[in-house]
Amino acid sequence: MEREAPHWLEVGEGADRRRLAVLSQPGDGVPVVWLGGFRSDMRATKAEALADWARRAGRPFLRFDYAGHGESDGDFARWTLSHWLEDALAVIAARCAAPPILVGSSMGGWIALLAARRLLGTALAPAGLVLIAPAVDFSEDLMWAQMPEAIRQTILRDGVWMRPSEYSSEPTPITRALIEDGRCHLMFGAEIRTGCPVHILQGMKDPDVPWRQALKLVEHLGGDPVVLTLVRDGDHRLSGAQDLLRLEAAVAGIATAP
């Protein structure tokens, strides 16, 4: 089947101006918005599975690549969480006609929560969140706090450290700007309010986001209805056949709720 060409959305001002690649499917009812992970893209396995589910269900589905990711403009190391949150909010504002369900994977889970906080009380306040291995505060808790001092000094001195990746032959640049900008968006330590139902899917054999991080998030979501599904043998990606069925069921459960 021929690969669908993306539409384009311009975001940002001046030196931060960039073009985002966007794929959208029409449908009826609550729109579903995919928010991908760190260095992932909108054509990854889980996003494709949700696109297929949305077609079958007749639901509108929206996905895009953050700046420096996938088919969007820009060098990955140039951008930070602030830019990627701005990307998400811009796509939602431009392409959602009704309150969306935000489906966030890994870093996308953090961005979904930040976006929900920003949209709370507006016409596009989310109808629900589905979070897959949500990497809340990952730049601080799962990167900086876990780094040996020598790597921290490299980042402070050189502005970047090239981290070997388990998911790519290319190393991932971890920049000083990413770490410092992430500190502007930390969520743990205060109550997190989304104003909508939240379903978290978390693998217990996840080497990147420990499953206790999901429990920590549940504790912080004191005012929202939350379901946590722990997958005993689940890894970080949660992209196996049964994992994808769980994901589709979680999204459908919120989409069809009265």
Q: Helices 81-95 and 107-119, interaxial angle, to 10°?
A: 60
Does residue 114 form part of some domain? yes
**Distance in angstroms (rounded) separating the CA atoms of residues 236 and 204:** 9
Does residue 101 form part of some domain? yes
Amino acid at 19: R
Does residue 160 form part of some domain? no
pLDDT for residue 1 is more than 90? no
pLDDT for residue 166 is more than 80? no
pLDDT > 90 in the chain, percent = 94
Q: How many domains does the chain have?
A: 1
pLDDT at 42: 98
Query: pLDDT digit string (tens) for 111-125?
Result: 999 999 999 999 999
Q: How confident is the model at residue 169 (pLDDT cuts 50, 70, 90)?
A: confident
Q: Give me the chain's average pLDDT, please.
A: 96
Q: For residues 72-80, give the mean pLDDT.
A: 96
Query: pLDDT digit string (tens) for 110-160?
Result: 999 999 999 999 999 999 999 999 999 999 999 999 999 999 999 999 999
Query: pLDDT digit string (tens) for 191-229?
Result: 999 999 999 999 999 999 999 999 999 999 999 999 999
Q: For residues 95-100, give the mean pLDDT.
A: 97
Judge whether 116 and 129 are in contact, CB under 8 Å.
yes
Does residue 26 form part of some domain? yes
- Could you tell me the CATH number of the domain that includes residue 31? 3.40.50.1820
Type and span of the H or E element at 16: none
Q: Residue 34 sits in which domain range?
A: 7-137+190-255
Tell me how crowded residue 137 is: count the other CB atoms within 10 A of its CB: 22
Does residue 119 form part of some domain? yes
Does residue 143 form part of some domain? no
Two structure tokens written together for 31: 């729109």
Does residue 102 form part of some domain? yes
Query: pLDDT digit string (tens) for 39-58?
Result: 999 999 999 999 999 999 99
Does residue 42 form part of some domain? yes
Closest CA to 62 of 84, 92, 29: 92
Tell me how crowded residue 58 is: count the other CB atoms within 10 A of its CB: 11
